[in-house]
Amino acid sequence: MAPEADLKDTDRCVMCGLCLPHCPTYGLSRDEGDSPRGRIALMQGLASGALPVGERLLGHLDRCLECRACEAMCPSEVPFGRLMDATRARVEPHRPRSPGSRRLRRWGFGLLRHPRRLRALARVLRYYQRSGLQWLVRHSGLLRLLKLAPLEARLPHLQRPLAAGRHSTVGPARGRVALFTGCVESVTGADTQRDVLRLLTRLGYEVDIPRGQGCCGALSQHNGDPATAAGLARANLVAFDTTGLDAIVSTASGCGAQLAAYDALYGLEHPRAAAFAGKVRDISTFLAEQDWPETLLQPLPGTVAVHDPCSLRHELRQHRAVYRLLGRIPQLQTVTLNATGACCGAAGSYILTQPAMADALRQPHIEQLQALGVRTLVSSNIGCALHLAAGIREAGLDIEVLHPVSLLARQLRD
């Protein structure tokens, strides 16, 4: 994007400050540079050439979660997410990185481009987790010696990914949907995706899992690498034939938000982008729109906490669908975790790049869970679910974290 377009968008900010109370990083640091208004001023300075790329400036930009809470409530409709993506791409070539950090970044983004490599790595790590090797390594003191203990503790439970192909309905078919399985989600959320298959086929939908699909591109897009994001999007646009499809459903709202933006991002250059983006639905939204036999679900007396991921609340703006969907389970009550909508700190790769901030932002959520005394938490985004689950474990709480759809699938009557 040309700097002129960014300057035009930054000019829309009237500096009213209404976004400040909604910004989680400003809430923590009380530093204007960590607020949306301050970051917009910095991005304006960079786009006009008035400000050079410096360490302090990069720090303010890097601490932004891209949660888009500011954008959702800005009366001047400043497109903050688009501006931040463009700015990160602009500063990336000038960023001082050590050769090791450059190699790690290339390797990490390379994995997203090559789903087979990602799955091969996940297979090895799954073996490590299941063979008893993990127990041995954790008790050997090796991780502490290599200073790898905090990183290893964040390793999620890895699952066998779903194979490509078509899944038939249990009874007569009423439609057909395609399931987006993603990259990291395909090995950390595969069990949720199996629950989605059970629910959809039971409701009369054939489910396609297209071959050749891969990462949605969100991580690259938000981390200064729009070229890789565009390449990933092109592969998905080729893999998904939208003809005859009722919807393309996604189980991670972070991916869903990126897929839904394909038209805005690539509509001018790819003939399939508009049709593709028009079919994208978060799985909870799609299921909440369907007619269900009243006797399909067994009652579940009790209360579950619901976490609204920023991508579902501020980007897709569909978080209410989760409550409507859970409302189908007889006797179940819901309570919102952090009703102000503040980010939990997961924010894609933020947990890796800003671990201290990510943990500080998660803490109020953990304290609220403790006060609520619930035994179950549902979240529609895999990154948030893993981050919150790690905090729950560290706090010694006995709370299960799962996708809302998995809770529904458990209540299916035979």
What is the contact surface with ligand SF4 in residues (CB under 6 A)?
Answer: 13-19, 22-25, 36-37, 39-40, 64-70, 74, 76, 78, 80
d(CA 39, CA 33): 6
272 or 365, CB closer to ligand SF4?
365
CB of 22 to ligand SF4, least distance (A): 6
CB of 349 to ligand SF4, least distance (A): 14
11 or 394, CB closer to ligand SF4?
11
Q: How many CB atoms lie within 10 A of CB 194?
A: 15
187 or 310, CB closer to ligand SF4?
310
CB of 321 to ligand SF4, least distance (A): 22
36 or 254, CB closer to ligand SF4?
36
CB of 17 to ligand SF4, least distance (A): 5
DSSP 164: S
Give the DSSP letter string of 295-364: TSB----EEEEEE--HIIIIIS--THHHHHHHTTSTTEEEEEESTT----S-TTTHHHHSHHHHHHHHHH
**Rounded alpha-carbon distances, angstroms, from residue 35 to 25, 88, 173, 364:** 7, 16, 50, 19
CB of 90 to ligand SF4, least distance (A): 17
22 or 279, CB closer to ligand SF4?
22
CA-based diameter of the chain, in Å?
Answer: 66
The token duo for 345 is 């700190």
19 or 215, CB closer to ligand SF4?
19
> CA torsion sign, 268 to 271 to 272 to 274?
positive
313 or 403, CB closer to ligand SF4?
313
Beta strands in 168-265 (DSSP E): 175-180, 205-209, 247-250
Query: Could you tell me the end-to-end alpha-carbon distance of the chain, in angstroms, rounded to an integer?
Result: 53
Containing 281, the helix (H) or strand (E) segment is: strand 280-282
CB of 44 to ligand SF4, least distance (A): 11
CB of 47 to ligand SF4, least distance (A): 15
The string over 82-101, giving b where at least 16 C-beta atoms fall within 10 Å of a residue's C-beta and e elsewhere, is bbbbbbbbbbeeeeeeeeee
22 or 362, CB closer to ligand SF4?
22
**Rounded alpha-carbon distances, angstroms, from residue 284 to 161, 249, 250:** 21, 9, 9
CB of 52 to ligand SF4, least distance (A): 21
